[in-house]
Amino acid sequence: MAGLKDIPAYIRTADDQQMLEMALLENLQRENLNAIEIGLSYRRLMDECDLTQEEVAERMKKDRSTVTNYLRLLRLPPDIQKSVRDGELSMGHARAIIGLEQIDQQLYVFREVKDKGLSVRQTEKLVKDMSSPEAKSQGSAKSAPLKLPPAYKRIEDSMASHFSTRVKMERKKNGKGNITIEYYNDEDLERIMKLMHLD
């Protein structure tokens, strides 16, 4: 079709594992991949091709820190990952948010970015303020007596993700306890009430 009798070509013999690796590496060369898709491809290279972060970085001709940053984004809550996928949230914003350890804090900053249109620098400052020693000491003072079992901690995180706000569970030895759902203004309260079908 091109009017050529011969074309330059490399012929490679590869097993299934090598074929998968080549396919993933080729996919990563696309220019329209978002940060989450890149992170997932790096994860697949590590899991399915049995590569280390250093080996992935070497194959992609990237610094290991770059690979690490993309992989860290996969620890973000699903709502935030979806926003990055959809192009609503930049990788710079996501990298700032992942600096927070608690899911409820991550979701709070995510909502602040969306509602107030915070820049990456403003987001980094908000995260830095929330990660300050004073803020951490206040948070640890509140959470220290709880000591929730892992199963209840997952419930707490799931509720925080559902309501996109800070949720705290307290459970006593007799099985009784309480749940605190924070809101930040009247509009936020209305939003939570709608999610609870109380509007």
Task: Report the pLDDT value the prediction gives residue 119, as an integer from 0 to 100.
Answer: 95
Distance CA 65, CA 67 (A): 5
| pLDDT above 70: residue 31 | no
* Spans of all domains in the chain: 16-74, 76-195
Q: What CATH number was assigned to the domain covering residues 16-74?
A: 1.10.10.2830
Task: Report the pLDDT value the prediction gives residue 68, as an integer from 0 to 100.
Answer: 92
Distance CA 130, CA 132 (A): 6
Q: Measured in whole angstroms, how far is the alpha carbon of residue 195 from the centre of its chain?
A: 23
User: Which of 39, 68, 40 is CA-nearest to residue 53?
Assistant: 68
Q: Sorting pLDDT into bands at 50, 70 and 90, what band is 89?
A: very high
Which neighbouring-strand residues pair with 178? 170
Pairwise pLDDT comparison (199 vs 164), residue with the higher score: 164
* Residues 156, 167 contacting (CB under 8 angstroms): yes
Mean residue pLDDT of the chain comes to 83
Q: Sorting pLDDT into bands at 50, 70 and 90, what band is 88?
A: very high
User: Which of 128, 133, 71 is CA-nearest to residue 99?
Assistant: 128
pLDDT tens for 117-132 read 999 999 999 999 888 7
pLDDT tens for 121-175 read 999 999 998 887 665 555 544 444 446 788 888 888 888 888 878 888 888 878 8
What pTM, to 2 d.p., does this model score? 0.58
Instruction: List own/partner pairs for 94-101 with CB under 8 A and 24 or more apart.
Output: 94/35, 95/69, 96/120, 96/123, 96/124, 96/127, 97/123, 97/127, 98/72, 98/73, 99/127, 99/131, 100/127, 100/130, 100/131
